[in-house]
Structure formats: structure tokens, C-alpha cells
């Protein structure tokens, strides 16, 4: 037999001479659905990364990204006409974004603002179709009330299945968007179609008494006042009222809120009623203040863009104003780059990229490395 020692495997020990436990690490993702806990600079980084990412595709198309972005900036904010057009686009984005933000406060994922917007526009138009001779002091208030009620009811169609039958609100709110859009197609191609419209899919033009007042010779209309009032009321109520405190508590810890006696089902119903009502008011503002008729494709996707607006703002009232103006500027700037050979859809690519990097940044920010025994 050989006298060489038999090799052994050393076992790590602690100071007491006992085998030491192996170090195990695990990744955990914290629950923070709205991204409110992420640092403010992450939003700025997400926007910068989105611009760099889209700039690569612009460069591959033979354009200078700096030139394109400068053209968009000048088109949206460089002239008084461009700036007022940006504010016009910001009105529905702010109202819809505010609506979905209220829902997101309690982790209810309302992605049905597009349908609620359309239903609100249809309800407002119904006043002009069935009561065409109402005076201005009656027509406009009636259109406002009906649009809010219609949008709110459309929001409840998502809330009731969730609270009573545990149906996922993502599915119902998304499907209701298509129902609303098909209903819009039916009325503008059918019973509400303008007989003197040369076969154009739209209703007769609104009269002056059915249209929102505008500022001077611009298209900036009274809907801006609706949006400003709504954002102020939201800021006060979410910060200084018991209802706002309960919403914040439900969003932070639903189980703790339930144990504290807060009726979560009731809050979901109320929140979705308000959320849908705001989107419906946005539809009324657009149809009465901008297009002056209900027509096919009344919304270029305001309800969907509002989701990105809410995420970018992190549900903050001031952030909602800034992000809605920013995305409105992207829409208007997208039109201006058509003069240099790029399609206006470049703005949609930037919007989608911003959302992608926001979600990616929020997810990375929630990852925590923890030690497990």
C-alpha cells in the first residue's frame, strides 16, 4: 500500500468549529405596481434611452436624429400656433390620464379609457342629434353631464364584474374598447350619418350653440378649463381628504386597508365611475371643441396614450400636466416631421419606447438581492 495521504475535501467551518452554512442569494421583486417608489431620475433616464433608441432607427433611415428631434420640438413648441395645438392635444390626454391614474392608485388596471372616451363623445353627440334646438346654456351642460354619466357607466361595466365575480379588469376594459368602437362605427355609418355629408362617415356639424367656446382665432377650447379644474380637485382630494388617504392606503397595502375596515369593493366601484367619467368628459371636449361632429376615428388613441402619460407622471398631479403636454408635443411634432420625409408615426414609436423603458426601469428598480439560509 502507498504511504501517500488520501486527499480530503475541506469543509468550511465557523469559529465554533461547526460546518458553515452555504451562502445562498435570491432575487425578489418588490410589489410597487404604479412605480411611485422609483426615483424621479429614472423617468428622465427612461426618456433619454427612448430617444437614443429611436434615434438609431432614424439614423438607419438616413436622417440625422438631432435634426429630426429639433424639427419636432419647433413644430410643437416653437410657434404660437404649434404651442396652442399642443395644448389642444393635451386636453384629452390630461383628462384620460387623470382618469386612469385614479384607478391605478388602488391597483385597478383600467385600460378602457379609449372606449370610455368614445362613449362620452357619442353621448354628447346624442344631444345634438335628438335635441338639436336646445339653447347654448342648456346644450353644453347637458352634453357635459351625459358624457360623464356615459363614461362612468362604461367604467362600471369593468368594475362590477371585478368586484362581484373576480373577473380580471384588464380583459373587460380592453374588450369594452372594441364594443365602443364598433358602436361608433354603427352610428356614424348608420342612423346618425349626415345625409348631406357626401357619404362621409360622420354626423352633421355641430351648431355654434353646441360647440365649446375657443380662445381667439386658435382651436384652444374651453375643455382646457375642465382639465385644469379636474387636476386641481384631484390634487386636493388625494392629498388632504380621508377618501384620498384611503385610496393611498389601498394602493400601498390592500390587506391592511381591509383590516382597517375600508370597503375596497366600494372604492373600486367609485374609482372606476370617476375614471370613466373623466374619459367621457374628454370625449365630449374633443367632439364639441375640436372636430364639431362625431366621426369615424374620433380618437387617434388618446385612451391608450393616457396609460403612458399616467406611468410617466407616476400618478402625480403636476407630473400628469407635464407628461400630457410632453406627449401632446410628440403628436404635434410628429406631424411636422412629415415635411422632411418622415412619417408622423415616428411619434408613436417614441411613445412606445418611452413606455418600454419606463416599465423596464421600474422592474429593475424593484429587484432586490436578499440572503436566504
Residue 316 maps to a domain:
no
How does pLDDT run along the chain (373 residues), one tens digit per residue?
445 555 555 555 555 555 555 657 666 655 555 555 567 788 888 899 999 999 999 999 899 999 999 999 999 999 999 999 999 999 999 999 999 999 999 999 999 999 999 999 999 999 999 999 999 899 999 999 999 999 999 999 999 999 999 999 999 999 999 999 999 999 999 999 999 988 899 999 999 999 999 998 999 999 999 999 999 999 999 999 999 999 999 998 999 999 999 999 999 999 999 999 999 999 999 999 999 999 999 999 999 999 999 989 989 999 999 999 999 999 999 999 998 888 888 999 999 999 899 888 877 766 666 666 5
Residue 339 maps to a domain:
no
Rounded distance, CA 179 to CA 300, Å?
17
The pLDDT, as a whole number, for residue 362 is 77
Kindly report the backbone phi and psi dihedral angles of residue 146, in degrees, each rounded to the nearest multiple of 5, phi listed first. Answer: -65, -35
The pLDDT, as a whole number, for residue 1 is 45
Residue 5 maps to a domain:
no
Residue 17 maps to a domain:
no
Residues paired with residue 48 on neighbouring β-strands, in sequence order: none
Are 201 and 191 a contacting pair, CB within 8 Å? no
Residue 58 maps to a domain:
no
Residue 311 maps to a domain:
no
Residue 60 maps to a domain:
no
Q: What is the 3-state secondary structure (H, E, C) of the chain?
A: CCCCCCCCCCCCECCCCCECCCCEEEEEECCCCCCCCCCHHHHHHHHHHHHHHHHHHHHHCCCCHHHHHHHHHHHHHCCHHHHHHHHHHHHHHHHHHHHHHHHHCCCCCCCCHHHHHHHHHHHHHHHHHHCCCCCHHHHHHHHHHHHHHHHHHHHHHHHHHHHHHCCCHHHHHHHHHHHHHHHHHHHHHCCCCCCCCCCCCECCCCCHHHCCCECCCCCCECHHHHHHHHHHHHHHHHHHCHHHHHHHHHHHCHHHHHHCCCCHHHHHHHHHHHHHHHHHHHHHHHHHHHHCCCECCCCCCHHHHHHHHHHHHCCCHHHHHHHHHHHHHHHHHHHHHHHHCCCCCHHHHHHHHHHHHHHHHHHHHHEEEEEEC
Task: Name every residue whose Cβ is closer than 8 Å to that of residue 104 and which is 6 or more positions away in sequence.
Answer: 33, 34, 110, 251, 310, 315
Q: How many domains does the chain have?
A: 1
The pLDDT, as a whole number, for residue 361 is 80
Domain extent, residue 224, equals 91-299
Residue 49 maps to a domain:
no
Amino acid at each position: 500500500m502507498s504511504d501517500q495521504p488520501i486527499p480530503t475535501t475541506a469543509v468550511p467551518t465557523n469559529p465554533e468549529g461547526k460546518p458553515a452554512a452555504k451562502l445562498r442569494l435570491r432575487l425578489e421583486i418588490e410589489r410597487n405596481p404604479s412605480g411611485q417608489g422609483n426615483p424621479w431620475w429614472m423617468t428622465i433616464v427612461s426618456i433619454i434611452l427612448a430617444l437614443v433608441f429611436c434615434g438609431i432607427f432614424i439614423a438607419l433611415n438616413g436622417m440625422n436624429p438631432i435634426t429630426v428631434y429639433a424639427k419636432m420640438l419647433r413644430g410643437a413648441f416653437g410657434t404660437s400656433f404649434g404651442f396652442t395645438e399642443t395644448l389642444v392635444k393635451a386636453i384629452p390626454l390630461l383628462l384620460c390620464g387623470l382618469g386612469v391614474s385614479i384607478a391605478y392608485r388602488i391597483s385597478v388596471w383600467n385600460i378602457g379609457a379609449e372606449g370610455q372616451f368614445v362613449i362620452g363623445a357619442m353621448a354628447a353627440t346624442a344631444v345634438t342629434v335628438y335635441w338639436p334646438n336646445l339653447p347654448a346654456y342648456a346644450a353644453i351642460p347637458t352634453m357635459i353631464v351625459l358624457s360623464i354619466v356615459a363614461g362612468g357607466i362604461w367604467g362600471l361595466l369593468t368594475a362590477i364584474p371585478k368586484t362581484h365575480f373576480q373577473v380580471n379588469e384588464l380583459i373587460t376594459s380592453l374588450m369594452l374598447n372594441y364594443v365602443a368602437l364598433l358602436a361608433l362605427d354603427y352610428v356614424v355609418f348608420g342612423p346618425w350619418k349626415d345625409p348631406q355629408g357626401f357619404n362621409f362617415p360622420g354626423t352633421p356639424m355641430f351648431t355654434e350653440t353646441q360647440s365649446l367656446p375657443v380662445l381667439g382665432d386658435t382651436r384652444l377650447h374651453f375643455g382646457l378649463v375642465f382639465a385644469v379644474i379636474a387636476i386641481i380637485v384631484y390634487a386636493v382630494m388625494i392629498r388632504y381628504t380621508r377618501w384620498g388617504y384611503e385610496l393611498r392606503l389601498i394602493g400601498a397595502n390592500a390587506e391592511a386597508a381591509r383590516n382597517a375596515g375600508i370597503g375596497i369593493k366600494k372604492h373600486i366601484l367609485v374609482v372606476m365611475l370617476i375614471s370613466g367619467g373623466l374619459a367621457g368628459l374628454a370625449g365630449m371636449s374633443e367632439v364639441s371643441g375640436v372636430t364639431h361632429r362625431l366621426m369615424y376615428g374620433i380618437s387617434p388613441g388618446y385612451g391608450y396614450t393616457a396609460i403612458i402619460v399616467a406611468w410617466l407622471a407616476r400618478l402625480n398631479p403636476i407630473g400628469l400636466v407635464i407628461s400630457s403636454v410632453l406627449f401632446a408635443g410628440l403628436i404635434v411634432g410628429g406631424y411636422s416631421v412629415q415635411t422632411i420625409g418622415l412619417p408622423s408615426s415616428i411619434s408613436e414609436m417614441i411613445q412606445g419606447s418611452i413606455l418600454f423603458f419606463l416599465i423596464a426601469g421600474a422592474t429593475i428598480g424593484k429587484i432586490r438581492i436578499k440572503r436566504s439560509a
